[in-house]
A and B are shown apart, each in its own frame.
Chain A
């Protein structure tokens, strides 16, 4: 059970406080309700590029990192298709430094030309390092375009192509800031060795004077229901053939999300999971196989990815995968198997909650989903999933017409 208190400022900023007196540290987590899904299709990768620019100085403070480091703190940030999250951890005595820094970059950035020029290059190198100069690096790019025809999950957070990042202008940066970086679009979580009264005072002092700005109203195109199987074959300079299959699943706030989540664990969560045991160990068709989902806010996808044993025909491997899915559809799961994946979920949650930084981030993410207290109710939701629900959902999700398949074949 994670305890927290919640209040709002007049400008719409939501603040959640989680006290933990066992640590000498404090964590300040600032979540902006904007991600790659809010980008224009011709200017992708922008939310993430913008995250880099948030460290290039703000209206009153020339650089972000140095004052934080002087205060004994460290920080980082990440962008997903759904959100942008900034977090820092520092000795609790120095927490006001974080309020000073975070509030200033919420007022306005410095919009330095040099910062934009450099970070465009840095992000291009990040793109190359993770998605070009690496075997199978473009897989997600291709999969997203195959699975999503309409919803902006069609592109990756890093962006569709280098060109979009190279062409970003300072005007784009300013417009993005005005549209999304307002108190009304923010969830601030403060955790660690702090007091609620102290945080109320600091929040009012540093964030209270920031003008509310306009609340961004998200109105994204809805992905139409897929009605026929999709298929893509790719040939690339990779050593092994690989099979990818994707199915549309539910949004993060749908109760059926928990069923789908447990289903992915039954299929591939560990050495005793079905796909690993059957396809890697017994039939030896794959050298690795994994089935997971992205946990995205809007309707997400379940993704199966496997590397084939050299010499195995991909059609044979794929047929074996389908056979395993059919077993799930027809025979369902045993009580013990379902209990196993529920226990795994419980244990994973306990380990995740060990770090105050993780707790702060979780509070922010669940609040973004609508209610931070959801975090404390999830285990019950997992516990209440039944075998019958798994069987039912496996038939709905693993429907051929809901599936996109990619054969990523070796040129060699």
Chain B
């Protein structure tokens, strides 16, 4: 046995990947229910996706506050009682608010579904938004914000988005203390009525599904005044700012700088998108990427550096993100631009392409392991108004993108002057 020689492998790039199809049902009111039945554990995940994200709000923070307060009181149950109703069964009912959508989710052992769905029904039909609960929410949100504002990474994340999308755009605006102060129960109730009681909703269910899932969902959600989403994107124009370079001092004693470099980028429907995902992997998308190899593994400037396409629906951004030692921030920037230049000027060799292809295919194979992961893929496809061809075309892009195409894309996008550049110390 010669330990210097690697054992033979099967190239993952040749795998045939399948995304397990979902089943689709429609509730009596037209709300679509996407389901994936899989997994060995007797657990279930239900995600109710409402078109109630911050794109729809009239004042900053209203969508997130309404979403959070769904679990803070109905006419029959206090916030404590709502929490207890889930926690007694070891279940989790979570809320999360994004730009387009806001989600009410349930994670539970499948056997408790019939006692938990009535509670979710109550939250979605009878939330009362108690004044005192809102006051506590406001106070605690402001306190959390004051802590976050001392973190350079948090400050940098907010600022770079505001440069790329404009500070009035849902993707670029951020919540300040005064917005939190202005929140009131009237605004929340109005938002609740329009976007939850009479909102657009889609339901995603995965895990071990009970035989009576559909009648159960119909009983508790099929009679509500909800309708199906049309999935067409609400387009609000982005308004990127003029100035491209920023240095911000947030803390005089900082020992690191939070670096963000970003350029606006089209959404998943753009023909370049899937191939740019491959290019991004080579550039800064995984541990073996060029940025990691150079800036972490060769220079030791940072604990980690990553590039990625933000997960937005209408338009997005190509982002490079790292925290580097204060004295090496400028050197880090220089190396990032050098790596862009290399990709523009030198063809990526076949070994590196094969490595990235295999790595990405192995990654997708691993990602499809388990019902929640499969559903996450489907949910992303559906909410982006795509279909299963997006998945298969992405796999095809991994298998087929050539060195020439990569170089062409690098020349088209990886141009330093297209990027916003920010360091927060």
Interface residues of A (CB under 8 A from B): 20, 22-25, 59-61, 65-67, 69-74, 89-91, 93-94, 96-97, 99-100, 103-104, 107, 117-126, 128-129, 132-136, 205, 237-240, 269-273, 277, 280-281, 284, 287-288, 307, 309-310, 336, 339-340, 343-348, 350-351, 353-356
How many pairs of A and B residues are in contact by the CB < 8 Å rule?
A: 213
Contact across chains for B365 and A25 when beta carbons are under 8 A apart? yes
Q: How far is it, in angstroms, between the C-alpha of A73 and the C-alpha of B361 when the chains are bound?
A: 9
The 5 sampled A-B contact pairs (Cβ below 8 Å) are A69-B356, A119-B300, A125-B303, A240-B143, A347-B108
Give the contacting residue for A120; candidates B4, B12, B300; CB below 8 A. Answer: B300
Contact across chains for B255 and A284 when beta carbons are under 8 A apart? no
User: Which residues on A sit within 8 Å (CB–CB) of B90?
Assistant: 340, 343-348
Q: How far is it, in angstroms, between the C-alpha of A132 and the C-alpha of B303 when the chains are bound?
A: 14
- For residue B317, give the distance in angstroms from its CB to the closest CB of chain A: 23
- For residue B416, give the distance in angstroms from its CB to the closest CB of chain A: 24
The segment from B80-88, B230-238, B401-409 that touches chain A is B80-88
- For residue B297, give the distance in angstroms from its CB to the closest CB of chain A: 6
Contact across chains for B151 and A117 when beta carbons are under 8 A apart? no
User: Which residues on A sit within 8 Å (CB–CB) of B4?
Assistant: 60-61
Task: List CB contacts (< 8 Å) of B38-89 with chain A.
Answer: 39-43, 71, 79-80, 82-84, 87-89
- For residue A18, give the distance in angstroms from its CB to the closest CB of chain B: 12
Q: A94-B9, A340-B87 are in contact. Are A22 and B140 (CB under 8 A)?
A: no
The 10 nearest A-B residue pairs measured at CB? A72-B362, A121-B300, A347-B90, A72-B12, A271-B83, A343-B90, A272-B84, A272-B83, A96-B7, A126-B303
**What band does the interface of chain B fall in when counting residues whose beta carbon is under 8 Å from A?**
35 or more
Is B355 located at the chain interface by the 8 A CB criterion? yes
Report B345-384 CB contacts with A as 1/0, cut-off 8 Å. Answer: 0000000001110110111011001101000000000000
Q: How far is it, in angstroms, between the C-alpha of A123 and the C-alpha of B358 when the chains are bound?
A: 29
Q: A133-B323, A271-B71 are in contact. Are A74 and B366 (CB under 8 A)?
A: yes
Is B325 located at the chain interface by the 8 A CB criterion? yes
Q: A135-B151, A355-B370 are in contact. Are A97 and B6 (CB under 8 A)?
A: yes
Known: A69-B358, A118-B299. 14 other contacts (CB 8 A): A22-B40, A65-B287, A71-B9, A71-B358, A94-B9, A99-B7, A122-B302, A135-B150, A239-B146, A288-B143, A310-B143, A343-B88, A351-B41, A354-B39
Is B296 located at the chain interface by the 8 A CB criterion? yes
Q: Which residue of B lies closest to A286 (CB)?
A: B140
Q: How far is it, in angstroms, between the C-alpha of A65 and the C-alpha of B324 when the chains are bound?
A: 23
Is B288 located at the chain interface by the 8 A CB criterion? yes
Give the contacting residue for A125; candidates B71, B286, B323, B359; CB below 8 A. Answer: B323
Interface residues of B (CB under 8 A from A): 1, 3-4, 6-12, 15, 39-43, 71, 79-80, 82-84, 87-91, 107-109, 136, 139-140, 143-144, 146-147, 149-152, 251, 253-256, 286-288, 296-303, 323-325, 354-356, 358-359, 361-363, 365-366, 369-370, 372
Q: Which residue of B lies closest to A58 (CB)?
A: B3
- For residue B76, give the distance in angstroms from its CB to the closest CB of chain A: 16
Contact across chains for B362 and A90 when beta carbons are under 8 A apart? yes
Contact across chains for B143 and A309 when beta carbons are under 8 A apart? yes
User: Which residues on B sit within 8 Å (CB–CB) of A345?
Assistant: 90
User: Which residues on A sit within 8 Å (CB–CB) of B358?
Assistant: 69-72
Contact across chains for A133 and B42 when beta carbons are under 8 A apart? no
User: Which residues on A sit within 8 Å (CB–CB) of B109?
Assistant: 346-347, 350
Contact across chains for A118 and B42 when beta carbons are under 8 A apart? no
Q: A91-B10, A238-B147 are in contact. Are A287 and B361 (CB under 8 A)?
A: no
Contact across chains for A344 and B87 when beta carbons are under 8 A apart? yes
Contact across chains for B365 and A91 when beta carbons are under 8 A apart? yes
Q: How far is it, in angstroms, between the C-alpha of A117 and the C-alpha of B298 when the chains are bound?
A: 10
Q: How far is it, in angstroms, between the C-alpha of A353 and the C-alpha of B370 when the chains are bound?
A: 11
User: Which residues on B sit within 8 Å (CB–CB) of A340?
Assistant: 84, 87-88, 90
Contact across chains for A280 and B362 when beta carbons are under 8 A apart? no
- For residue B131, give the distance in angstroms from its CB to the closest CB of chain A: 14
Q: How far is it, in angstroms, between the C-alpha of A96 and the C-alpha of B361 when the chains are bound?
A: 18
User: Which residues on B sit within 8 Å (CB–CB) of A100?
Assistant: 3, 6-7
Q: Which residue of B lies closest to A192 (CB)?
A: B369
- For residue B331, give the distance in angstroms from its CB to the closest CB of chain A: 12
